[in-house]
Amino acid sequence: MSLADANRDFVLRPNHNEKFRPANGEALLRTVAEETLVGKNFESGSSLSNSIASMIADRLKALSLPHYKYVVQVTIGERHGQGMNIASQCVWDADCDGLAKYFFSNCQHVCAKAKAKVTEASDNELGLDGEPIVE
């Protein structure tokens, strides 16, 4: 196969059937949050948020969407009547990229916000926190 043939066959963008659907992502976030947080008391937010982020990333990878990388951010805090606002910024392609968000809160101890950004794959990308994107 020549280089010209290889370039002709290379597809950078996902086709319509392979695009990330935010509604599916939000359902995935909801499922993971409810499986891991319902009935739990606040303990170590950092280790819990890391394990939830890993679970979400694994389930996103299981969707087998080609051409995508995932950024997963989970924030957990003890609830004492305060609010929580989180802002992030990134380069965005509205045709291919997607964002799913889910906020979980129980009445007693835990409030958590999970966010997954799904973006076209490219080399040397950093996530919302400056860390390399999970592939």
Of the two residues 49 and 82, the one the predictor is more confident about is 49
Tally of domains in the chain: 1
Is 40 inside a domain boundary? yes
**Has residue 135 been placed in a domain?**
no
Q: Give the confidence band of 133 by pLDDT, cuts at 50, 70, 90.
A: low
Retrieve residue 8's tokens: 């002709």
What would the pLDDT profile of 83-116 be if each residue is shown by its tens digit? Answer: 777 777 777 777 778 888 888 877 655 656 666 6
Residue 114 pairs in a beta bridge with 74, 102
**DSSP states of the chain as a string?**
--HHHHHHH---S--GGGS--HHHHHHHHHHHHHHHHTTPPP--HHHHHHHHHHHHHHHHHHT--TTEEEEEEEEEEE-SS------------TTT-EEEEEEEE-SSSEEEEEEEEEEE--TT-B-TTSSBPB-
Domain with 87, as residue range(s), is 19-120
pLDDT at 44: 64
Using the predicted structure, report yes or no on whether residue 38 has a pLDDT greater than 60: yes
Query: Residue 129 falls within a domain, yes or no?
Result: no
pLDDT at 83: 73
Question: Mean pLDDT score of the chain, rounded to an integer?
Answer: 74
Report yes or no on 27 lying in a domain: yes
Residue 132 domain flag: no
**What CATH code is carried by the domain that includes residue 46?**
3.30.1140.40
